[in-house]
Amino acid sequence: MSWQSMMDARACPDTTAALQAAASELDFVLVPGRYDSGPEHWQSCWERCLPLWRRITLQNWQDPDVDRWVGAIGRLTARSERRAILVGHSLGALASCCMAVDHPGRVAGLLLVAPAEPARFEAEERVPAGPLPVPSVLVASHNDPFMSFRRAEHWARTWGSELVDLGEAGHINVESGFGPWTYGLELLRRLSDRARS
């Protein structure tokens, strides 16, 4: 199946129903990357289409300090008694990994989409260098300008993440042709099943 068909297929009603059921036990938190995710980004599409999302906020989305992102996740998750599945893109994926290690009791699972190379944000010492304490899925592309597929394989091994290969899908963002990306919702459904088991 090509990444285009993964992106264009309509969301299965069963997937939507399963995620809504999971939301009775878990929080679902969107963690965008640098500059936030614009209105056509798949994270924003998901937020509009399913009434189960919480989303981090930052005063300055242009300063790529991973600890600012971790702090924003921490503030949001501290207001809930339920554990959260973090859905991070790019820098947001790196921050989500850090949050899971810093506060494992607040995190139930991680969907890590097109994580950026930590060195791009001077985060090499901050990003976990061992297995993550929760189930995780790393979604990667062969032509992502922010992380090579070889490096994505390395991080998936390091973190103990399931690796999903989308082929040549760029940075898995609007510029790469990704809008609603319903295949991502199916990956999230599977992850939520694991997080609840």
Q: Give the CATH number of the domain where residue 174 resides.
A: 3.40.50.1820
Which is nearest to 92 in space by CA: 119, 122, 72, 107? 72
Measured CA to CA, the distance from residue 10 to residue 32 in angstroms comes to 23
Of 1-10, 131-140, 146-155, the one with minimum mean pLDDT is: 1-10
Domain span at 175: 3-196
Provide the pLDDT for residue 13.
Answer: 84
Tokens representing residue 87 in the block:
């859905």
Indicate left, alpha or beta for 79 from its phi (over 0: left) and psi (-120 to 50: alpha).
alpha
What rounded mean pLDDT belongs to the chain?
94
Exposure of 171 by Cβ count < 10 A (0-12 exposed, 13-18 middle, 19+ buried)?
buried
Of 1-10, 46-55, 61-70, 154-163, the one with minimum mean pLDDT is: 1-10
Per the structure, the count of domains in the chain is 1
pLDDT band at residue 4 under the 50/70/90 scheme:
very low
pLDDT band at residue 60 under the 50/70/90 scheme:
very high
Provide the pLDDT for residue 41.
Answer: 96
Give me the residues paired with residue 85 across strands. Answer: 28, 109
Per residue in 104-130, pLDDT tens? 999 999 999 999 999 999 999 999 999
pLDDT cut 90: percent of the chain above it: 90
**Per-residue pLDDT averaged across 79-102, rounded?**
98
Q: Of 3 and 21, which is predicted with more confidence?
A: 21
